[in-house]
Amino acid sequence: MSEREGGGKAITVREIIEALLFATDEPLAVKQLLEIFSILEEGEKPREVTPDGILACIEELNRAYEHEGRAFRIVKVAGGYQFATRPEFGVWLGKMVTEKSRRKLSVSALETLAIIAYKQPVTKPEVESIRGVNADYVLHTLLERNLVAIIGRAATPGRPLLYGTTKEFLKHFGINDLSELPKPREIDELMAEAEFEVEKRMLQELEEKRKIEEGGEPE
């Protein structure tokens, strides 16, 4: 690219993409990035300013971050791209961003959100039938947080409102689309594995306690 800053080296498409993704609060889709580059005249557009070229630039940036041992990567979320720290730094970020505890979803909100995510489009009476409790307050909270949205009306008596998840939901849980939600079978396997680990720990603790009582040394 021919643009220069203070007579220095030319600014590359890769650097521009890096700057845009660094500055954005929302994921930027390839289409949006192309629209930003549309300010250039046809003859000024470098070969990288194509959908494949932009994706290649993002891959190059990620390879550079990996090579340099950076704590972040460019990830695909909700159909767009943005910077995100690597998962292994999550515990440190959690300690820093204490505000997250204030915004943490309640158990009832998570239950309602799970029902909507897996059953959508779904009505409030259907959610209440599954949970067995009134869902007015929880739905209001989820709508305020923009995790769910009203997406239409059901073709049933009374024409109740239909609810579905939003892009904010995808961002909140760090997934690109609903197909990445764990399948019910996978959830059952995870739950069974967690229960097995708990039982295993309990047995180990009981065994160590028995050895101590018998005058032996725990392993």
Q: What is the pLDDT of residues 83-105, one digit of tens each?
A: 999 989 888 877 776 555 455 77
Instruction: Give residue 46's pLDDT.
Output: 78
3-state secondary structure the chain: CCCECCCCCECCHHHHHHHHHHHCCCCECHHHHHHHHCCCCHHHCCCCCCHHHHHHHHHHHHHHHHHHCCCEEEEEECCEEEEEECHHHHHHHHHHCCHHHHHCCCHHHHHHHHHHHHHCCEEHHHHHHHHCCCCHHHHHHHHHCCCEEEEEECCCCCCCEEEEECHHHHHHHCCCCHHHCCCHHHHHHHHHHHHHHHHHHHHHHHHHHHHHHCCCCCC
User: Is residue 117 predicted with pLDDT exceeding 60?
Assistant: yes
Both tokens of 7, joined, read 């007579």
Q: Which of residues 45 and 81 earns the better pLDDT score?
A: 81
List, for residues 159-196, the tens digit of each pLDDT value.
999 999 999 899 888 888 888 887 766 656 655 655 55
Token look-up 């995790």 returns 147
Q: Give the model's pLDDT for residue 93.
A: 79
Q: Which residue has the tokens 């889709």?
A: 29
> What's the pLDDT tens digit per position in 17-48?
999 999 998 999 999 999 998 887 666 777 77
Confidence of residue 2 (pLDDT cuts 50, 70, 90): very low
| Residues making up the chain, counted from first to last | 219
Q: pLDDT per residue over 53-71, tens digit each?
A: 999 999 999 999 999 999 9
Quick one: pLDDT band at residue 206, thresholds 50, 70, 90? low
Q: Which residue has the higher pLDDT, 115 or 185?
A: 115
Residue 112, both tokens: 């309602």
Those residues with Cβ within 8 angstroms of residue 65's Cβ, 6 or more apart along the chain or in another chain: 72, 73, 74
Q: How confident is the model at residue 76 (pLDDT cuts 50, 70, 90)?
A: very high
> Global pTM?
0.52
| Per-residue confidence (pLDDT) for residue 196, from 0 to 100 | 54
d(C-alpha 116, C-alpha 130), whole Å: 11
- Cα–Cα distance for residue pair 147/141, rounded to 1 Å: 9
| Cα gap 78→73, rounded to integer Å | 16
CB 74, CB 83: distance < 8 Å:
yes
Least confident of 2-6, 14-18, 47-51, 72-76: 2-6
